[in-house]
Amino acid sequence: MAVSSGEGKTAGQEDPVRRESARQRAGEQGLLFDEQPTALPGDIGYRGPTACAAAGITYRQLDYWARTGLVEPTIRAAHGSGSQRLYSFRDILVLKVVKRLLDTGVSLQQIRTAVQHLRDRGVADLAQITLMSDGVSVYECTSADEVIDLLQGGQGVFGIALGRVWREVEGSLAELPGERAAVEDTVPADHPADELARRRRARRTG
């Protein structure tokens, strides 16, 4: 099942006691995150080991997810031996979300659908989303009422407030090295200037 809106999942089940209980659970789990996270520079990239540390994953997972197209680095992909992938803040946010969904038993197919859905969203929109999962399907909630509706209906047994994950990643990256992306990092892999770009990088890092 594709990622879908949580709106209207429990129409007609307006039990005030159950609803208040669901609201309390949502608050305890930090699912009603409504702060506006800090905007970060879009031209700062992070190498693989840094992305792993911030997302809480292994390098093997990072490499596999990149090679299979689950989560690819959007600043710079690896082009041949010796080149380094460069991940954006948004990439690392998605990596951390994927890790949490996997840990709760959500299928890889559902995770791929969720990741594609997140890719289609603007960066500002991500912070306002809470993903809910019953271990089978993933639901998107964009308001506190939708989160509470799912909890009240028993469907959302697990939730991820992306705004909260944003803050966690932001805190981790504050202690880790990043680097400003060069102009040539945006050159497509099959572009004639790609080899020249690699030589320039080699001179700078060598």
What is the distance between the alpha carbons of residues 88 and 25, in angstroms, rounded to a whole number?
33
pLDDT at residue 198 is higher than 90:
no
Mean pLDDT over 136-158 rounds to 80
DSSP string computed for 42-85: TTEEEEHHHHHHHHT--HHHHHHHHHTTSS--SSB---STT---
Is 149 within a domain? Answer: yes
Condensed to tens digits (0 to 9), the pLDDT of residues 31-66 reads 776 666 676 666 789 999 999 999 999 999 999 999
Q: Which of 112, 119, 32, 24 is nearest to 69 (CA)?
A: 112
- Alpha carbon 177 to its chain's center: 20
Residue 45: what pLDDT?
A: 93
Model confidence band, residue 3 (pLDDT cutoffs 50, 70, 90): low
Condensed to tens digits (0 to 9), the pLDDT of residues 83-128 reads 689 999 999 999 999 999 999 888 988 999 999 888 887 776 788 8
Q: Which amino acid, 52?
A: C
Residues in the chain: 206
What is the distance between the alpha carbons of residues 197 and 187, in angstroms, rounded to a whole number?
8
- CATH label of the domain that carries residue 166: 1.10.1660.10
Residue 86: what pLDDT?
A: 94
Is 7 within a domain? Answer: no
The pLDDT > 90 percentage for the chain reads 29
Two tokens, residue 137: 């399907």
Is 67 within a domain? Answer: yes
What is the distance between the alpha carbons of residues 27 and 29, in angstroms, rounded to a whole number?
5
Model confidence band, residue 81 (pLDDT cutoffs 50, 70, 90): low
pLDDT at residue 195 is higher than 70:
no
Q: What is the mean pLDDT of the chain?
A: 77
Residue 78: what pLDDT?
A: 75
Is 185 within a domain? Answer: no
Is 117 within a domain? Answer: yes
Residue holding tokens 């890092």? 205
Q: Which amino acid, 68?
A: T
Query: Alpha helices of the chain — where are they, by DSSP H?
Result: 16-28, 48-55, 59-67, 89-103, 108-119, 123-126, 144-153, 162-173, 194-205
pLDDT at residue 194 is higher than 80:
no
Residue 196: what pLDDT?
A: 40
Is 165 within a domain? Answer: yes
Is 83 within a domain? Answer: yes
Q: Which of 128, 147, 127 is nearest to 25 (CA)?
A: 147
What is the distance between the alpha carbons of residues 91 and 85, in angstroms, rounded to a whole number?
11
Burial of 149 (0-12, 13-18, 19+ CB in 10 A): buried
Is 52 within a domain? Answer: yes
Residue 112: what pLDDT?
A: 92
Model confidence band, residue 82 (pLDDT cutoffs 50, 70, 90): low
Two tokens, residue 94: 């998605």
Torsion sign across C-alpha atoms 149, 150, 154, 160:
negative
Containing structural domain, residue 119? 40-179
Domain count across the chain: 1
Residue 201: what pLDDT?
A: 45
The pLDDT > 70 percentage for the chain reads 68
Higher pLDDT, 42 or 139: 139
